Amino acid sequence: MSNHFADRFTQAVKDKGTPICVGLDPRLDQIPSQIKDKNPNPADALLAFNKGIIDAVHDLVPVVKPQVAFYEIYGADGMKAYSETLKYASSKGLITIADVKRNDIGSTAAGYAQAYLEKGAPFEADSLTLNAYLGWDGIEPFVEKARANGKGMFILVKTSNPSSADLQDVQMSDGRTNYEIMGSYVDSWGADDIGESGYSFVGAVVGATFPRQAAKLREIMPNTIFLVPGYGAQGGGAEDVKPCFKDGVGAIVNSSRGITFAYEKMDGFDEKTYAEAARKAVLMMKEDLAGVL
Amino acid sequence: MSNHFADRFTQAVKDKGTPICVGLDPRLDQIPSQIKDKNPNPADALLAFNKGIIDAVHDLVPVVKPQVAFYEIYGADGMKAYSETLKYASSKGLITIADVKRNDIGSTAAGYAQAYLEKGAPFEADSLTLNAYLGWDGIEPFVEKARANGKGMFILVKTSNPSSADLQDVQMSDGRTNYEIMGSYVDSWGADDIGESGYSFVGAVVGATFPRQAAKLREIMPNTIFLVPGYGAQGGGAEDVKPCFKDGVGAIVNSSRGITFAYEKMDGFDEKTYAEAARKAVLMMKEDLAGVL
């Protein structure tokens, strides 16, 4: 099999039969008490909770995305839990996205690339999220490291939050918006290394909450994989994510709270059965997405 | 004394008589061998190196800024060194800027705010750097937490790297550039809480390498403190940073490699005297800046 990130990614989605990414954003106050009782150190509780989720869904989904803020809260211990979460997910055959939205000038970006995309690095992941407000030279070190190691990245283009319009929707003198300009950059940054799957290893983050903008971006970025947050808790539905796909592929839809803390809202489950609830939530999301793709 | 971040900041600059920020971006291959011999764990070497620098310059400068990428390379151990560096700098009376350029949607941004701006948090700092590509609701949790705790922040407006023009200099339909639009946002986000010093707790990052743009931003943001990277190793000189100031105050100029690794380039010093070299480099920078301010 090709070691190109987009090919590994596309194959994983095909193997599992659904484009679902589970966001691992553990909030201590929502972690079941039986886990916290056994793990008095919060960072240990985060890791134990994540392992329970991963065990319950790894045969169903291709991708997981731990969001680092929820681990940084617990300092170095939390970052150890972050590292162990990435390792555990990887050992279960899952593609990992380190959701860190890193960004800096070139010489510093090289440091981040070493921390996340180097083989054997403490936070090694298959890919990471980036913010390209600084332009190309802040992205280049990630592109180089990713290309060398069969890794990938997802760059913020049109984010799912209400205020994303503040800067991203501002219209330029040539008629395009900032998110369209960013989309063109992202497309070009990966254009010289397209995998057999037809996709590049430089992906884009495009929110499920803005389907009209997503449709425009799908045209601008024909070879780009879309990471789509905003489904579920943030308000996006299956119809909303549809424009992110191209013939049913080329995108991955993330759900975090809606899956990991499904036990709080789903009839017939409680904190003891949080993992089973997460599994059921994945199966429901799979059906929901299958209805439109 | 007022607990408002801008007032503490302005007083510290006045007390030390120079607007210098020392960037603590330790690269293992440039750390003197006597430190690495004593500290076989790289993270310990980073911390020991930083303590040597802080001891040598804390009576001369008001602010230090550790860049987190250089610590993340060493995983959880590195993040412990990051936490300890912030604590040590703080114990020596220095104002700290956690250079982390964090950014995310509101609910996640709240996690970062807790990790960096909460009293007693593992990575507690006086302020942090942020990227506002996501707009207001990704910044709001930091503003709230900072206001409650007498903390501050510096938001990327016009960065010092060559490719910053890619997005930041694009011109909008109303004639303004993206960096001007971002500057207006940053100014407005801090406008309702100006300290006795005349400055707000929401600062801006404006690179020393673009003096013409800095002059324009100084007009757009009359009450904003500028954090100015790009002096020294990146090519900015004293004349270049001058437009970032207002009557000689309201800005802080960062130098990282030019100070911490001065021993490599300065006559009469070697790795054994790296701390003395850093002190001399600070004194030279102080004189250089005093010549134009």
Q: What is the pLDDT of residues A90-117, one digit of tens each?
A: 999 999 999 999 999 999 999 999 999 9
Q: Where in chain A are the domains?
A: 5-290
* pLDDT given at position B232: 86
Q: Check residue A171 and report its DSSP letter.
A: B
* Helices of type H across A156-273: 165-168, 178-190, 211-220, 238-241, 257-260
**CB-CB under 8 Å, B165 with A137:** no
Contact A250, A217 (CB under 8 A): no
Q: Which two tokens stand for residue B251?
A: 């800005």
| Rounded-to-integer distance, Cα B207 and Cα B230, Å | 6
From A49, A133, A76, A66, select the one nearest A100 (Cα to Cα): A66
The domain defined by A5-290 folds into: TIM Barrel (3.20.20)
* pLDDT given at position B234: 80
Find the Cα–Cα–Cα–Cα dihedral B170, B171, B173, B178, rounded to 10°: 70
**The amino acid at A291:** G
* pLDDT given at position A232: 86
Helix (H) or strand (E) holding B66: strand B63-66
CA B223 to chain centre: 18
Q: Give per-residue pLDDT as tens, A194-234.
A: 999 999 999 999 999 999 999 999 999 999 999 999 998 78
| Rounded-to-integer distance, Cα A32 and Cα A27, Å | 10
Chain A contact set for B111 (CB, 8 A):
67, 69-70, 72-73
| Rounded-to-integer distance, Cα A34 and Cα A41, Å | 13
Residues pairing with B7 in the sheet: none
| Rounded-to-integer distance, Cα A234 and Cα A256, Å | 10
Contact B236, B208 (CB under 8 A): yes
Residues pairing with B63 in the sheet: B21, B95
Residues lower than pLDDT 70 in chain A = none
Read off the pTM.
0.98
From A289, A251, A290, A206, select the one nearest A10 (Cα to Cα): A251
CA B86 to chain centre: 13
**A83, A108, A156: best mutation site toward chain B, by most B Cβ within 10 Å?**
A108
Phi, psi of B147 (to 5 degrees): -60, -40
Burial (Cβ within 10 Å: 0-12, 13-18, ≥19) of residue B143: buried
CB atoms near residue B68 (< 10 Å): 28
Of A69, A115, A175, the CB nearest to B112: A69
Find the Cα–Cα–Cα–Cα dihedral B113, B116, B122, B123, rounded to 10°: 150
Chain A contact set for B41 (CB, 8 A):
none
| A162-188 per-residue burial string, b: 16 or more CB within 10 A, e: under 16 | ebbbbbbebebeeebbbbbbbbebbbe
State the count of interchain CB pairs (< 8 A) between A and B.
182
* pLDDT given at position A143: 98
Residues lower than pLDDT 50 in chain B = none
| Rounded-to-integer distance, Cα A256 and Cα A50, Å | 12
Q: Which of residues 111-170 of B touch A (CB under 8 A)?
A: 111-112, 114-116, 121-123, 131-138, 156, 159-168, 170
Q: Give CA separation, A46 vs A137, A222, A282, in Å.
A: 35, 38, 20
Classify B54 in phi/psi space as left (phi over 0), alpha (psi -120 to 50) or beta: alpha
| Rounded-to-integer distance, Cα B110 and Cα B130, Å | 13
B70 touches chain A (CB under 8 A): yes
* pLDDT given at position B56: 98
- For residue A100, give every residue at least 6 positions away whose Cβ sits within 8 Å of its Cβ, in sequence order, or none: A68, A112, A116, A128, A129
* pLDDT given at position B235: 85
